[in-house]
Amino acid sequence: MNPCARHLKLHACIASALIAAGCASGPGKPPVVAGPPSGNDTSVFCEAESTEMTIQVGSVFSDGTLVRDFYTGNTARVREGQVTMAPGDGAEGLLLLESVDTAKGQFTWAGATVYFAVTDRFANGTTRNDLNYGRRTDGKDEIGTFHGGDFAGLTQKLDYLSELGVSALWITPPFEQMHGWVGGGDRGDFQHYGYHGYYALDFTVPDANFGTREEFRTLVQEAHERGIRVVMDVVMNHPGYSTLQDMQTFGFGSLFEGFEKHLPAQWGDWQPESWENFHAYHALIDYDHPDWRNWWGKDWVRAGIADYDTPANASVDPQRGSLAFLPDFKTEAEQAVDLPVFLRNKETSRSRQLDNATVRDYLITWLTDWVREFGVDGFRVDTAKHVEPEAWLALKQEAQAALDDYRSRNPDTELPADEFWMVAEVFPHSVRKTAYFDAGFDAVINFDFQEEARAGAQCLPAMESVYSDYAGKLHGADNFNVLSYISSHDTRLFSQLAGNDSALQKRAAAALMLTPGAVQVFYGDESGRAFGPTGSDPHQGTRSDMNWRAIENGEVSAILEHWQKLGKFRERHPAIGAGEHRLISQRPYVFSRTNGDERVVIAFGRK
C-alpha cells in the first residue's frame, strides 16, 4: 500500500473514531441513548402532598426537641416522638428537618457537592481573550469552537455557586490546547477545537482562551475564601491531536511534496471543498516523514506514524492502546527521555529539561506544579483505566507533597482541605470498592446513578432501595466513596431524559442531593440547561452554553430556588452524604441520616 493510501485508510478510521473523540474525555464512553433508562419503573409520577403530615421522628430527635423545616423555616416541638408539619409552597412535598440547636456540620468529601463546569461554556468574564492562536468561529452552529468561557467568568460566578451549597468546583483542564482543529463527529461535519481542555499541547501554561496565570490564581483564591475547593481535571493518557495549524506554527511533521499549494497562508484556515468534509485535510499530510520527530517523538507517545510505535488495540490492552487515535503517552516506560523538540523551541512554555526523567516523571511534575503554585485542592482524573495504577499512586503522593509545600510557603492562606483529593473516571464503574482505591484514588465516578435518577425525580420513594444500598456499601466497615451524577459531558443531560419537563428537572434535585456519597452537579442541572447543537457527535450537545439569560430573566426561578434549598441543606449537613441511612416509614416516605451527633430527617408526602 502506498503511503498516501495508507494514511487515507488510517484517517478514515480516525473519522469513524472521532464520534468518541468528540467528547471531552474522549473515547470509551457510551452513546446518547434515547428514551427512559432501563431498570427503573419510570411510568409513575406521584403528585406531591402539601397538607400537614404527622412524622415519626422519635428515633432521631428526643421529645421536647425543637425541630425546624429548613425549606420553610417553620418549627415544631417533638411530642410523643412525632411532629406535624406541612411542606412549603414549591417544596415538592419535602420536609427537611433539623434540630434548631444544630450547628453546621464539618465538611467531609464523603458528603461533598461537586459542581462540574466546562470552563469554555460556563461564563465569559472578559471578551478580550475569546480568540487566540489563530482560532476562528465557524459562523454556523459553533458546535466545536471556543465560546469564550474563562477563569474570570468562573470567578464572577462563585457567589452563585455558594448559593447552591457547592463545596468543590471541578473545572475542565486549564492547559494550553492544540491551537487548531480536527474534523468533528463521524461525518467530519464541524471543526472540533480543544475547547473542553482534553487535547493538551502544553501542560505547563494555561490556554490563552481560558485566561492568564494570575486569573487562574485569583479563581482559586476567591474560591477558597468562600470555602469552595478547586478540583482540576487532568489527563495523563494522551495529549491532543496534531493539527494543520500546529504543524505550521511549531514546524513538526510534513505535507506531501507540492501539496502546500492546496492550503491558505494560515493552514488552520483550510476549508473543505463542497464534496469534502473536515476530515479530508489528512490526505495532504505525509505521516511517514521523518520531521514528525519534532513533535512529541517516539520515546514519548505511540501514534502509528513515521517511526513511532503503533498503539495496541485498546480493548485488548487498555493501558497501551490508543483512544480514538489520540497519541498514547508511554507512562509505563522506564527509560529517561528528553523534552520534546517542539516544547524546547516553544518560547511561551514553562517546561524544562528534567534530569533522568521518564515520561511519567515529566507529566507528574507538570500537573503537580499547578498544585504547588496555586493551591489546587484535588484532581479529577480522566480515563483512569488507561494508565497503569502505579502512575496514579505516584501522582497522588506528589500532589499531596505539592499541596503541603504550597501551605508551607503560604502560612497565612487558609485552605479548605488538608488532604489532596483524587477522583477517577473509570467507565463503567459503579458503587463497589475496587483496586482503584489502592492506586491513590479517594473516590470513583459512579456511572449507575444516571440510570436510577429519573424514577426518583418522578417519585422520590423509588430511591429507597438505591439510598439504602449506597449507604450500606459506602459507609460500612470497609468504607469508600463515589461521585454520583444525573448529567455529564460524556453521557446525557438530565433535561434529555426528562424530555424538558420542568417538573422533573426540579424534582431531580431531591433524587441527587439526598444521595449517599459525594454528588456531582453538572453546570445547568440546577437551571434546566437545554441540549445544544451536536452535529454527528451526540456528546457535543451536552456542553451547550450555560443558560444565564433564562436565570437572569427569572424563567427558571422555581427550578433554581428548589436546587438552592436542597444544596444548602446538604452543605449544612454532611451526614446526608456521609451518614447512616434508616427508613422510618413508607407513607409518608420518611428516612433519617445520622453521623455521630449530626442527624436529619427527610420526609416526602405524596397524594
- Residue 591, helix vs strand vs coil: strand
Active-site annotation holder among 186, 377, 425, 452 = 425
- Model confidence band, residue 14 (pLDDT cutoffs 50, 70, 90): very low
C-alpha–C-alpha distance, residues 296 and 302, integer Å:
10
Instruction: Based on DSSP, count helices (H) and strands (E) in the chain, helices before strands.
Output: 16, 22
Phi-psi region of 598 (alpha: psi -120 to 50; beta: other; left: phi over 0): beta
Res 29: pLDDT: 37
- The 10 Å Cβ neighbour count of residue 352 is 11
Residue 43, CA distances (Å) to 33, 93, 117 in order: 18, 19, 32
> Cell match 452513546: residue?
31
Q: What is the mean pLDDT of residues 307-335?
A: 94
What sign does the CA torsion over 415, 199, 142, 18 have? Answer: negative
* Mode of pairing for the β-strands spanning 421-424 and 443-446: parallel
Rounded to an integer, the average pLDDT of 327-346 is 98
- Interatomic CA distance for residues 506 and 556, integer angstroms: 9
Among this protein's residues, is 373 annotated catalytic?
Answer: no
* Average pLDDT score over residue span 420-425: 98
**Domains in the chain: boundaries:** 3-38+106-137+159-326+442-473+481-581, 53-104+589-604
Looking at 382, 451, 545, 571, which residue is catalytic? 382
Of 499 and 216, which is predicted with more confidence?
A: 216
Q: Which pLDDT score, from 0 to 100, does residue 44 have?
A: 77
Is 431 within 8 Å of 482 (Cβ atoms)? yes
90-142 residue pLDDT tens: 999 999 999 999 899 999 999 999 999 999 999 999 999 999 999 999 999 99
Note the pLDDT of residue 296: 98
Cell 451524577, residue located: 485
SS3 469: helix
CB atoms within 10 A of CB 428: 12
Tell me the mean pLDDT in the region 307-316. Answer: 92
Average pLDDT over residues 434-460: 96
Rounded CA-CA distance 503/511 in Å is 13
The pLDDT of residue 43 is: 54
425 is catalytic: yes
pLDDT, one tens digit per residue, over 240-276 is 999 999 999 999 999 999 999 999 999 999 999 999 9
User: At 389, which helix (H) or strand (E)?
Assistant: helix 389-409
**What's the pLDDT at 19?**
31
One-character DSSP codes across 32-66:
P--SSPTTS--S--PPBP-S-EEEE-TTTS-TT-E
What does the alpha-carbon distance between residue 261 and residue 263 come to, in Å, rounded to a whole number? 5
Element at 96 (helix H, strand E): strand 94-99
Q: Identify the weakest region by mean pLDDT among 7-11, 281-285, 375-379.
A: 7-11
Tell me: the pLDDT tens digits for 32-84? Answer: 333 333 334 445 789 998 899 999 999 999 999 999 999 999 999 999 999 99
pLDDT at 322 over 50: yes
Angle at 583 between CA 578 and CA 588, to 5 degrees: 125
In sequence order, which ranges of 266-358 are alpha helices (DSSP H)? Answer: 341-344
Mean of pLDDT values over 210-231: 97
Nearest to 429 by CA among 409, 449, 403, 457: 449
- pLDDT tier for residue 5 given thresholds of 50, 70 and 90: very low
Interatomic CA distance for residues 365 and 367, integer angstroms:
6
Calculate the average pLDDT of the chain.
92
Classify 192 in phi/psi space as left (phi over 0), alpha (psi -120 to 50) or beta.
Answer: beta
> CATH says 3-38+106-137+159-326+442-473+481-581 is which class?
alpha beta
In the 8-state DSSP scheme, what is residue 29? P
Quote the CA–CA distance of 73 and 246 in Å, as a whole number: 58
Of the candidates 115, 159, 220, which has an alpha carbon nearest to the alpha carbon of residue 523?
115
Q: Which residues 6+ apart lie within 8 Å of 430 measured at CB?
A: 446, 447, 448, 482
> In whole angstroms, what is the distance from residue 466 CA to residue 528 CA?
24
As given in the structure block, the three cell numbers for residue 388 are: 497503569
* Contacting residues for 146 by C-beta, under 8 A, at least 6 apart: 120, 130, 131, 135, 137, 193, 195, 209
Q: Is 237 exposed, middle or buried (0-12, 13-18, 19+ CB in 10 A)?
A: buried
- What pLDDT is attached to residue 185? 96
| Res. 9: pLDDT tops 80 | no
Mean of the pLDDT values across residues 487-508?
91
> Do 292 and 327 meet the contact criterion of CB atoms below 8 Å apart?
no
Whole-angstrom distance, CA of residue 175 vs CA of residue 210: 9
Query: Can you tell me the mean pLDDT for 488-507?
Result: 91
Answer whether 61's CB lies under 8 Å from 567's CB. no
Average pLDDT over residues 11-32: 36
Judged against a pLDDT cut of 60, whether residue 348 lies above it is answered with yes
**Could you count the other beta carbons within 10 Å of the beta carbon of residue 33?**
14
Owner of C-alpha cell 479517594: 442
Model confidence pLDDT, tens digit, residues 514-540: 999 999 999 999 999 999 999 999 999
The pLDDT of residue 18 is 36
Q: From CA 304, how far away is CA 3, in angstroms rounded? A: 13
* Closest to 370 in 3D by CA, of 398, 337, 338, 394: 398
pTM of the model: 0.94
Of all residues in the chain, what percent carry a pLDDT higher than 70? 93
**pLDDT confidence band for 586 (50 / 70 / 90):** very high
